[in-house]
Chains A and B, each alone.
Chain A
Amino acid sequence: MITLIPENCNACRQCTYACLYGGIVLEGKTPVRTDSCTGCDACIDICKTGAIVSSGQNIRLGHDIAEYKGVWVIAEQRQGHILPVALELLGKARELADIRETGVTAVLLGDGVDKSGDLLIKHGADRVFIASAPFLGSYRTSPFVRIISGVIKEHRPEIVLFGATAMGRDLAPRLANSLRTGLTADCTQLEMSADDGVLLQTKPAFGGNIMAAITAANHRPQMATVRPGVMQPVCSPSRKGDTVFLDVREEHSDTIVSILKTVKKKQSRATLEKADIIISGGRGLGDSKGFKLLKDLAAVFSGQIGASRAAVDMGLIDHDHQVGQTGRTVRPCLYIACGISGAVQHLAGMQSSDIIVAINKDPKAPIFQVADFGLVGDLNRIIPEIIEQLK
């Protein structure tokens, strides 16, 4: 255990970097030991000015994981609109919380989001923390980490879930640092052990070739970013809950990164993820003639066009239409894969579609293993026949 001699401190900050646990911080120019200090004494060796010395006692503090309760979702919004992934996470959070007989809390930061609590409650939250202020309108790492780590430290949830979006994957690692806890990225499956509350977090790795099941059994909160489109939202219009408004203001450190401008991209990706029917093409389309067939098929089904990486690489279609590990994850009611062999990277992006139809000339193509209905043959002859009969 350490003893601090503040008058020796030259505010060099080395001790704060040396501490893995956030157990020592500088308040102004004074070093302060926090509750997170485990008594490991690592900062003593680092301090060159004698401001940190050993108190002679050797106690190793641990934190009591039983104190951490509840399942939290960090909800993301853009221009005031809640992203679908937030509602999907609430569906999962509700399931996990029911197993542990505990509550679901959503945290929402944004500008003009005062009225958004209801939507989050209907989708499974018992309580919603809202921080609504102009400086939170666009996501910036610093204020979001500061505010969210503050509420997490105060209320001690057992689990915190984020969407595996650009924001979630920027924010969550920084929070894991601040809370000195574990974080699993881009999960596609979460399972709760009812007895000890250990969350088994499964994520793809190596481009979807390998799945890894990960736990952080001795740390709380257990944190995961979860891939959009994987979990199911559940809406109960009659659900009731509490909305709590957080009193927040901008601090000087929040402006360390300033946003100069943003330029919107074309919206085709978003519509792909919302589509009920996706007609997708791959290498087997051959050329632009095959692609024309695909468009005609999409027209009779009123579906959106998707593509495998091969079709994108061949220049048949823009990357925004790519489905799979390095593209979009989709979950339509109907997914028709035309001339797509079914590389594991593609399957990762579409395998949870309700009904999958595969049209491919190679009966051994892996796509047939995930298809509900397989048509083995020449797509140049099968597709016109389907179009003809549907008309």
Chain B
Amino acid sequence: MKGLKIIVAVKQVPGTDEVRTDPKTNSLIRQGVPGILNPEDRNAVEAALCLKEKHGAAVTALTMGPPEAGDVLEEVFAMGVDKGILLTDMAFAGSDTLITAFILSRAIIKSGRFDLILCGRHAIDGETAQVGPQIAGFMDLPQVTYAEEIVLEKGFITVRRDLEDCQEWVKVKLPAVVTVTSRINRPRYPSLYNVQTACDGSLLTTWGAEDLKVPASMLGLDASPTVIKKIFEPDHKKRGEIIPGDEKEMAASLIEKLKGVNVI
């Protein structure tokens, strides 16, 4: 296919799974936690670049977040992405998955013609896996989730999906939305040459709510159906007793206790 155009939606997420909450405010402690490119979004970028190398394509990365979220776009430029769009506006703050997908879909439509939209299956912060399908929903496009292989041929893609009990091969005509898992590829490292181009800012476009021609009433926290009432750290504590003694005694009293509660 000539002039293939691929959009990759990416997200900046807190770069640790040791995230903690502030018990006083019930909010996430973000201080000192670096932002990273969401791992499966990196796989989506790699998948786009592989298609670009094989078939020729223009790859545009799209992200929404605070101005710092532009960092992840510089990172994907260094991997070889051609253009980036940063969606940043106070009006976007607090958007849930439905509104986030709405904003992203508006931006994709504004960016012009496209053939394929790629997303990571889920982000490691919220872990919803909803934004990809919801972009497809707003754009009335077919979706293929859990992709672990994408083969492009004559305007169609064949995708291998990784499901719980089987692998499924599906075929769909472009344009379409595909969400990828980490099994699809091993993302490349940024190249030095690309890093230099990435830093001059010429690849980046920034849009706000006005650029998308969407009224503020359709954006952000107020428009979002879901609201986070509170966040807290899970309480795993249980009754628990430590069985004393040497190995022989421990084994004997464990067996006795398990018999006592009828599990053996």
List residues of A whose CB falls within 8 A of some B CB.
13-14, 16-18, 20, 40-42, 45-46, 78, 141-142, 165-166, 169-170, 172-174, 176-178, 180-186, 200, 203-219, 256-265, 267, 269-270, 277, 301, 333-334, 342, 344-345, 347-348, 351, 354-357, 363, 366, 368-378, 381-382, 385-386, 388-390
Are A182's CB and B231's CB within 8 A? no
Known contacts A13-B140, A263-B166, A377-B250; is A215 also within 8 Å of B213 by CB?
no
- Cα distance A264–B231 in the bound complex, in angstroms: 39
- Cα distance A209–B235 in the bound complex, in angstroms: 10
B264 within 8 A of A: yes
Are A347's CB and B236's CB within 8 A? yes
Least Cβ–Cβ distance between B132 and chain A, in angstroms: 8
Are A344's CB and B236's CB within 8 A? yes
The interface on chain B, measured as residues whose beta carbon lies within 8 A of the other chain's beta carbons, has a size of 87
Looking at chain A's contact residues, the main secondary structure is mixed
16 additional A-B pairs beyond A184-B226, A257-B143, beta carbons within 8 Å, are A14-B109, A18-B213, A173-B134, A206-B125, A206-B127, A215-B229, A218-B225, A258-B171, A259-B170, A262-B167, A262-B169, A351-B238, A355-B258, A370-B240, A377-B247, A388-B251
Are A216's CB and B227's CB within 8 A? yes
Are A375's CB and B98's CB within 8 A? no
Q: Which of A209, A218, A372, A390 sits near B18, CB closer than 8 Å?
A: A209
B243 within 8 A of A: yes
- Cα distance A363–B244 in the bound complex, in angstroms: 12
Measured between beta carbons, the chain A residues less than 8 angstroms from B227 are: 214-217
Measured between beta carbons, the chain A residues less than 8 angstroms from B234 are: 204, 208-211, 344, 347-348
- Cα distance A387–B124 in the bound complex, in angstroms: 41
Q: Which of B125, B146, B233 sits near A211, CB closer than 8 Å?
A: B233
**CB-defined A-B contacts under 8 Å, sample of 14:** A17-B109, A165-B164, A166-B146, A176-B137, A177-B98, A206-B19, A206-B127, A210-B28, A211-B232, A211-B233, A259-B168, A344-B236, A376-B242, A382-B250
B165 within 8 A of A: yes
Measured between beta carbons, the chain A residues less than 8 angstroms from B170 are: 257-260
B203 within 8 A of A: no
Measured between beta carbons, the chain B residues less than 8 angstroms from A369 are: 236-238, 240
Q: Which of A16, A347, A372, A388 sits near B240, CB closer than 8 Å?
A: A372
Known contacts A269-B165, A370-B238; is A333 also within 8 Å of B142 by CB?
no
Measured between beta carbons, the chain B residues less than 8 angstroms from A372 are: 238-241
Q: Which of B99, B143, B213, B236 sits near A370, CB closer than 8 Å?
A: B236
Measured between beta carbons, the chain A residues less than 8 angstroms from B241 are: 372-374
- Cα distance A211–B234 in the bound complex, in angstroms: 6
Least Cβ–Cβ distance between B183 and chain A, in angstroms: 10
- Cα distance A217–B145 in the bound complex, in angstroms: 29
Interface string of B139-168 (1 = CB under 8 A from A): 110111110000000000010010111111
Measured between beta carbons, the chain B residues less than 8 angstroms from A378 are: 247
B97 within 8 A of A: yes
Measured between beta carbons, the chain A residues less than 8 angstroms from B17 are: 206-207, 209, 345
